[in-house]
Amino acid sequence: MRLVMLGPPGAGKSTQAQRAAAKYGIPHLSAGVLLRAAVASDAPVGALAKDTMARGDLVPDDIVQAIVFERLDGPETHNGFILDGFPRTIAQAEALDRFLRDRGLGLGAAIELKAKDHALVERIAARNANAVARREPRRIDDNADVLRSRIHAYHRQTAPLLEYYQRQGILHSVDGMLPIAEVEQEIDRIVARLQIEKVPDSDV
């Protein structure tokens, strides 16, 4: 099972990807986590990404792809994976398709978590308030101004992926503002339907 989670920042992609990964026994690969780990490790690729992430802009395709594809080539993805935060552009999606096709593989589904912009700003504000109350570190790209920039970048560069995957017939949409458990149930229904519909020579 190879899935891509799509949606604007704050829509709950990571939460749902983590739950699905635990349930189906496949790794959750978050591009954001991988990038932040690269930044924290002072790796050369992290230095290139740091300033871009702090502004809320999208990190250049070649940097993100190098980090993500290295993990996708690891043994832990043998039975599948859930990608969160990648691809974010048509170029990245095409590169991912080529990467998988070269290995005789393909995506099973792209799951979109839909959400309104104003609701996302409110959700992130609440997340930051909770982090401060618990004395937890805040993400460098998690404040109102940067969030608005990230949402704008999503609409400009990432939203076209919806049409890209719709043309492939693998796009499925879920209301990301539903309670977490209800979103999870909707994703479970999508995966169950895909597993029923798949033919013997395909792989969800």
Identified catalytic residue from 50, 71, 114, 139: 139
Which residue from 171, 188, 1, 165 is spatially nearest to 77, judged by alpha carbons? 1
Q: Give alpha helix (H) positions in 41-175.
A: 44-55, 61-72, 90-101, 117-133, 144-153, 160-168
Question: Which member of 150, 189, 193, 198 is catalytic?
Answer: 150
77 marked as binding residue: no
10 is in an annotated binding site: yes
In the residue annotation, 150 being an active-site residue is answered as yes
Find out whether 12 is annotated in a ligand binding site: yes
Question: Partners of 114 in the beta sheet?
Answer: 175
Q: Reply yes or no on whether 19 is catalytic.
A: no
Considering 88, 98, 116, 138, which one is annotated as catalytic? 88
Asked if 138 is an active-site residue, the reply is no
Establish whether 157 is an annotated binding residue: no
Which residues contact residue 27 at a Cβ distance below 8 angstroms, ignoring those fewer than 6 apart? Answer: 21, 76, 77, 81, 82
Q: Is 15 annotated as a binding residue?
A: yes
99 is in an annotated binding site: no
Query: CA 49, CA 68: separation in Å to the nearest integer?
Result: 14
Q: Which residues are annotated as a binding site for AMP?
A: 36, 57-59, 85-88, 92, 139, 150
The catalytic site residues sit at 13, 88, 127, 139, 150
Report the binding-site residues for ATP.
Answer: 10-15, 127, 178
